[in-house]
């Protein structure tokens, strides 16, 4: 992939470079408003403003991106590409396990702390079918 980007960015014609870069972004499903893609796009636009072809570059990038999206859909449909091949894989974060039980966290009363009148109330316990032992 890195070689493809270097090849695209080495293109001399800025309009063609914008189209090819847009095609690459659309084909691999990259997000163009953040990260390295946004940085390269911003550099393209800055250079285009200096050369006075900003609107043409912007149009070429949009057209390339749309063509890349269509090609991506075609390849996925033909089985040549996986749907998530271009998406960034995020490592799952480690979850910190709390030592407290959920009753302690939410402030539910413990069974010993319940009023005596409610201790005998069967609506607070498990159903009999769940407490019956299998022989």
Read off the pLDDT of residues 38-62 as tens digits, 9 standing for 90 and up: 999 999 999 999 999 999 999 999 9
The secondary structure of residue 122, as a DSSP letter, is G
Helical residues (DSSP H) of 52-127, grouped into ranges: 54-78, 102-106, 116-119
Which pLDDT score, from 0 to 100, does residue 124 have?
63
Predicted TM-score (pTM) of this structure: 0.58
Does residue 19 or residue 106 have the better pLDDT? 19
66 has a pLDDT exceeding 90 = yes
């Amino acid at each position: 992939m890195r070689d493809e980007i270097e090849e695209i960015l080495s293109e001399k014609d800025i309009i063609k470079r914008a189209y090819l870069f847009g095609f690459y972004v659309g084909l691999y499903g990259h997000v163009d408003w953040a990260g390295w893609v946004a940085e390269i796009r911003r550099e393209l636009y800055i250079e285009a403003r200096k050369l006075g072809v900003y609107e043409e570059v912007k149009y070429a990038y949009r057209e390339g991106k749309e063509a890349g999206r269509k090609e991506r859909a075609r390849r996925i449909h033909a089985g040549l590409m996986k749907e998530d091949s271009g998406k960034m894989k995020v490592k799952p974060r480690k979850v910190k396990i709390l030592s407290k039980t959920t009753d302690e966290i939410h402030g539910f009363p413990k069974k010993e702390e319940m009023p005596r009148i409610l201790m005998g109330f069967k609506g607070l316990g498990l159903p009999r079918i769940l407490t019956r032992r299998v022989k």
